[in-house]
């Protein structure tokens, strides 16, 4: 593999299939992944052989997954082309990506987190459905910072293309408190670090059970960011308590029973939830902190 960094966006804009095929041999896994995605976007049937060779050599899991997906789609479309050439030409015309959208997708996958967040927002505002796949890929990457993942989740919700985990963010905004409670519970079960901010907001929910469940979810996530979010919320409650101290709940309620990971948040039944309850007293000290 060579270490030259090709301009994937320019190669794709110029429909340079040979250049993109050569980029599959680059030493940088990100370049190889983007080249495979570009070949797929261009419907480059002539690159199927190069992609098959790249798949045999690839060791990076994410890049290998992208190459495999590109191969699968191109092989299926090639079969359809052989059966109905006119239909394939129409599909190719629809697939053409506007250069501005492509630049935003490149920003989405770039190293600049602020650019990635802004790109996600703009792409969702533009209803750019062609950005859904790279958004999902970036969201699912364990290397993606939680601030970027949250922006991607918001964008995917707006594009109405949210995968299951992202859909839980929408559950937190449901008009039904049971759905909000269940969404918070499952996000806690998943230890969804990207959802710390919306879970912190849920600790101010109008429904007490939702507030307690969001608190329990943050305790389960238990990262420094989650602990800090709990502290900030407790400070806000302490300030409010000076004017009107609410009754202090007891600790005698049954423990939280976490729902199964793949449970439908809209239909599942849960037991009464009252885990480490949200303490509203300004003098309360968390023994676990």
Angstrom CA distances, 166 to 215, 271, 277, stand at 19, 24, 26
Listed in sequence order, the residues at least 6 apart from 30 whose beta carbon sits closer than 8 Å to its beta carbon are 63, 109
β-bridge partners, 26: 2
pLDDT (tens digit per residue) in 13-27: 778 899 999 999 999
Angstrom CA distances, 57 to 53, 74, 217, stand at 7, 19, 42
Angstrom CA distances, 54 to 34, 49, 151, 228, 277, stand at 13, 9, 32, 45, 53
Query: Which domains does the chain possess?
Result: 1-96 (no CATH), 98-160 (1.25.10), 163-289 (no CATH)
Listed in sequence order, the residues at least 6 apart from 289 whose beta carbon sits closer than 8 Å to its beta carbon are 227, 230, 231
> Which of 247, 176, 248, 184 lies closest to 206 in space, CA to CA?
176
Q: Residue 28 has which token pair?
A: 């940088």
pLDDT at 224: 94
CB 134, CB 105: distance < 8 Å: yes
pLDDT (tens digit per residue) in 18-71: 999 999 999 999 899 889 988 887 788 899 999 999 999 999 888 888 898 888
Q: Give the pTM.
A: 0.50
> Which of 233, 235, 231, 225 lies closest to 195 in space, CA to CA?
225
Q: b or e along 217-232 (b: 16 or more beta carbons within 10 Å of the residue's beta carbon)?
A: bbbbbeeeebbebbee
Per-residue pLDDT of the chain (289 residues; tens, 9 = 90+): 545 578 887 787 778 899 999 999 999 998 998 899 888 877 888 999 999 999 999 998 888 888 988 888 788 777 766 665 554 444 444 456 688 888 998 998 888 999 999 999 999 999 888 888 788 888 878 788 999 999 999 998 888 776 777 888 888 988 999 989 988 998 998 888 999 999 999 999 999 999 999 999 999 999 999 999 999 998 988 888 776 655 554 444 445 445 554 445 444 444 444 445 454 444 444 544 4
């Amino acid at each position: 593999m060579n270490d030259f960094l090709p301009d994937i966006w320019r190669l794709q804009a110029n429909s340079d299939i040979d250049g993109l095929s050569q980029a599959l041999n680059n030493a940088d896994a990100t370049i190889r992944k983007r080249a495979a995605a570009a070949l797929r976007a261009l419907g480059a049937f002539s690159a199927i052989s190069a992609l098959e060779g790249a798949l045999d050599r690839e060791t990076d899991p994410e890049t290998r997954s992208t190459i495999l997906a590109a191969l699968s789609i191109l092989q299926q479309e090639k079969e359809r082309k052989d059966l109905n050439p006119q239909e394939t030409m129409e599909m190719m015309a629809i697939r053409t990506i506007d250069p501005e959208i492509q630049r935003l997708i490149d920003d989405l996958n770039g190293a600049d987190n602020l650019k990635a967040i802004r790109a996600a927002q703009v792409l969702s505002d533009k209803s750019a459905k062609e950005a859904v796949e790279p958004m999902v890929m970036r969201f699912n990457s364990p290397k993606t910072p939680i601030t970027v993942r949250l922006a991607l989740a918001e964008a995917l919700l707006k594009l109405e293309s949210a995968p299951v985990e992202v859909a839980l963010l929408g559950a937190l905004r449901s008009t039904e408190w049971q759905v909000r409670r269940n969404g918070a519970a499952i996000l806690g079960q998943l230890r969804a670090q990207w959802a710390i901010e919306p879970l912190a907001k849920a600790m101010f929910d109008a429904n007490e059970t939702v507030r307690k469940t969001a608190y329990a979810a943050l305790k389960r996530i238990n990262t420094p960011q989650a602990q800090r979010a709990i502290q900030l919320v407790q400070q806000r409650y302490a300030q409010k308590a000076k004017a009107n101290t609410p009754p202090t709940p007891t600790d005698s309620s049954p423990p939280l029973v976490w729902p199964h990971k793949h449970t439908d948040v809209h239909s599942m039944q849960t037991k009464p939830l009252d885990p480490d309850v949200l303490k509203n007293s300004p003098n309360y000290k968390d023994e676990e902190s």
